[in-house]
């Protein structure tokens, strides 16, 4: 899916540049979305849970998020480790349930 275009609920917004994997659970935690073709040089993260569907024939990932939400998302800096404070801002920005709350609810 690297290189696939990202299609938000209201238009195209970027492409999949990479994936980030949790080194403890081995879960794919985020897609790195590069919006350089739409806005200068910004990379943001989108959780796989927010993917609506993948169109394999058109090399496109459809997400259940609007362009503006993705555009204004907290910027991802690959030189810095992802910390809980950043994830809290990210999930709050997208108004999505946080995966670590689900772990707590399941006793993990």
Predicted confidence (pLDDT) per residue in 19-59, tens digit: 999 888 899 999 999 987 655 668 999 999 999 999 999 99
Question: Does 2.30.30.240 match the CATH number of domain 5-105?
Answer: yes
CB 14 within 8 A of CB 6: yes
pTM of the entire structure?
0.85
Burial 80-93 (b: 16+ CB within 10 A, else e): eebeeebbeebbee
Q: What is the residue extent of each domain of the chain?
A: 5-105
């Amino acid at each position: 899916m690297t290189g696939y275009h990202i299609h938000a609920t209201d238009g195209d917004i970027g492409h999949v540049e990479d994936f980030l994997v949790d080194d403890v659970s081995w879960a794919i935690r985020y897609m790195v979305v590069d919006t350089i073709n739409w806005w200068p040089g910004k990379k943001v993260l989108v959780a796989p849970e927010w993917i609506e569907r993948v169109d394999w024939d058109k090399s496109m990932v459809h997400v259940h998020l609007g362009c503006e939400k993705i555009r204004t998302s907290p910027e991802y800096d690959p030189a810095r480790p992802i910390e809980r404070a950043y994830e809290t801002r990210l999930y709050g920005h997208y108004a999505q349930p946080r995966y670590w709350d689900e772990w707590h609810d399941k006793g993990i």
